[in-house]
């Protein structure tokens, strides 16, 4: 089971890349040079964010679960292939980087749950 989880973490980016071609034709060099460069840069950055979110490493350190979730959301925004979603993804990535560098949350952060008693 441990091997299958590790292979999933490594291979998820390779599974998502074909869907990126469907959402953004500029990755296939169909469009102006500016569109192709923008689509390629955001695709590479989106795959990096996806891998960071799944594997749990971002900017040199282990991340907490909520930072991983934010990285996954940012990756999906970057992969979608529109200017608005790219800007949302970049903003979300900047916010997660800020939270990780300034607040330094523990990778083992837990959700505090208390009952009604």
Give pLDDT tens digits for 31-90.
899 999 999 999 999 999 999 999 888 987 888 999 999 999 999 999 887 889 999 999
| Three-class DSSP category at 61 | strand
- The pTM score is 0.84
- Is the pLDDT at 110 greater than 90? The verdict is no
Contacts of 71 (CB under 8 A, 6+ apart): 49, 50, 52, 53, 58, 63, 93, 96
- CB of 99 closer than 8 Å to CB of 109: no
Strand (E) positions, 7-103? Answer: 57-58, 61-62
Average pLDDT over residues 90-102: 94
């Amino acid at each position: 089971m441990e091997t299958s989880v590790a292979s999933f973490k490594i291979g998820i980016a390779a599974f998502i890349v074909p869907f990126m071609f469907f959402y953004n034709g500029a990755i296939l060099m169909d469009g102006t040079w500016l569109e192709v460069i923008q689509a390629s840069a955001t695709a590479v950055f989106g795959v990096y964010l996806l891998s960071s979110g799944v594997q749990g490493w971002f900017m040199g350190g282990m991340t907490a679960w909520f930072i991983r979730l934010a990285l996954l959301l940012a990756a999906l925004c970057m992969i979608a292939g529109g200017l608005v979603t790219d800007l949302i993804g970049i903003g979300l990535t900047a916010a997660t980087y800020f939270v990780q560098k300034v607040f330094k949350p523990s990778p083992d952060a837990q959700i505090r749950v208390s009952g009604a008693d």
